[in-house]
Amino acid sequence: MKQTCGVDIVHIPRIKKLVEKHGGPSLENPFIKRVFSKEEIAHIIDRKDPYPGLAGRFAAKEAVIKALNPFKKIADLKSIKIKGKVPKVELKDNKLSKLGISVSISHDGDYAIALVVVTVLIKTDR
């Protein structure tokens, strides 16, 4: 068994600035559409303050990319979905679906952080 991890921290005001630069939190915002799936957007967009949720999911996607780097390079953040209130990772690439991926997202003040652990069973010659 092999484990890798990825971590990312995001300054929530930075995400807010990016979102507002493109018209604010909406389903039609180009930044939001480029980074998040429709399901992710629907889960967050109607909140009183959607920015911590957007920042947390952004951090989680970046952490997934870092954790998967030894196995595969992923450039498209939209190919990674962070689903549910208890975050769960879903990848578009079926070849990676057998990986055990755990994610934890936390917020404190102006920051969101995500930690991802990927577990891979490695075949041995024994």
Fold for 2-120, please state it. Ribosomal Protein L22; Chain A (3.90.470)
Give CA–CA dist 21/36, Å, rounded: 17
User: Residue 105: pLDDT above 60?
Assistant: yes
Q: Where are the domains of the chain?
A: 2-120
pLDDT in tens, 67-87: 988 777 776 787 888 887 788
**% of the chain residues with pLDDT over 90:** 48
Q: Which two tokens stand for residue 105?
A: 């997202």
| Number of helices followed by number of strands (H, E) in the chain | 4, 5
CA dihedral defined by 20, 22, 27, 30, rounded to 10 degrees?
-140
pLDDT in tens, 110-124: 999 999 999 886 665
Q: What is the pTM of this model?
A: 0.87
